[in-house]
Each structure stands twice: as structure tokens, then as C-alpha cells.
A and B are shown apart, each in its own frame.
Chain A
């Protein structure tokens, strides 16, 4: 697999907090060296890599024994610089976001609403996700992206901010 960076990748992400979705941790395990280089490039660009505690829960669940659970946790901790807690404010924002999604939100996971709520509240934060269908561009701005070129497929990983025109917090 090859990773192609969009031309504005470094300028769009400079000095931002990058909030990682569960899909990023899953995809990174398929091409670890390439992803590790991208993560290091972001860190060298002044970015802080963070994730939510509930994303960690989503990622480690299903591990069949203590060793596997601990290794899955360690894998996430090797990537991120910090975890962010879900505060009551974020929970309330997630509900507001579900109201903005309307019928588009029916199949969206609660974790995705929490992630969306974080970037709705913190404008300096970008959400990095390979699950691009659950973050529609009528609600979020696609700031930049990575393209993953596989032998027989092409995938995209987006970096999103919240569109101010939709903000119930303004």
C-alpha cells in the first residue's frame, strides 16, 4: 500500500490537535511503518495526536485475554500523546449534533457523535478518520486528506473540522 498526501497536508494540519478515530488504529495495523511515518511527520509539524477514552474502549473490546487487551492498549498508547475525557458538556454537544444530522444520524455510532462533538467545541482540533461516510461535508469541512493506494482499491482518510455555519454553540 502507498500513502499519498494531499498537497496542503502539512499546512492544513500545522500545530493542530489531531483527534484519531477507531478506524485509523485499525487501518494503521495493516501498514504500520507507513502510518508510523505519517504520525511522526504530524508530530514534527507541531501536532498533538489525541483520542477519546471511548475510542480506546471501542478498539480494545473483543480482546480474548489480558495479554491481548494490554497489547492492544499499548498499541494505541504508542501512537497518541494524550487521551481526552468525555465531559458532560461534550455529551450534551453530541446530542445537539445528532439533532443537526437528522435522519443521516440513524446509523452513526455514539462514539462518532462524541468525536464530532469534540471538533464542534474545539475549533483547533481536526478529526482524522477513515470512516468518511459518517462525517458528511454539509456538517463538517474536509480540510485535507490522505489517499491509500492498494493493489486493487483506493481509500481515503479525511481530516475534518466542524463547519461554523452549523454551530449551535455560536
Chain B
């Protein structure tokens, strides 16, 4: 019998950050200018995620309040 094992990994989470962590908070790392066009595209996606999370949070809160009202009235 042949056993095949496939090892998987998540590419996203292993992507190394290029942003330094400063040991001395007042040292001056190289500053990088923002590419406005690329930034706009990513920001638009992020705004959508934030709105989605807010909506979900609001729905959960409403559901919780509804349950609370129901339990108080019975």
C-alpha cells in the first residue's frame, strides 16, 4: 500500500513583513512614499471589510438584545 501525504501551508501568513520594529523609538528608519493609486485600491477593499465587520457586530448585538428582551418578558 502506498500512502501519500500532502503537506500544506498558508502562503499569506508566512509572508514576511518588511516594516521594521524599532528598538529605539526615535531612531530614523528609511521612509517610504505611498503609491497613491495602489493604496487607493487596497484601501477600498479594507473599507469594505470594516463595514462588513461593523454590520456583523451590529447584527450580533441586535440578536443579543432581542434574546434579552424576550427572556425579560417571559
A: residues with CB less than 8 A from B are: 17, 26, 28-30, 32-33, 36-37, 39-40, 43-44, 47-50, 53, 62-64, 66-75, 77-85, 118, 122, 124-125
Contacts and interface: CB of A to CB of B under 8 A. Distances in A.
B25 to A, nearest CB: 5
B20 interface: yes
A36 B10 CA distance: 30
B29 A48 contact: yes
Contacts, number: 106
Contact of A80 (B13, B19, B42): B19
A124 B32 CA distance: 20
Given A28-B43, A70-B12, 8 more contacts: A39-B34, A40-B34, A81-B30, A82-B20, A82-B22, A82-B29, A83-B22, A84-B21
Indicate the size class of the contact surface on chain B: 35 or more
B2 to A, nearest CB: 32
A156 B1 CA distance: 69
A26 B49 CA distance: 11
B15 A29 contact: no
A8 to B, nearest CB: 22
A47 B22 CA distance: 15
Interface in B11-41: 12-13, 15, 17-23, 25-26, 28-36, 38-40
B44 interface: yes
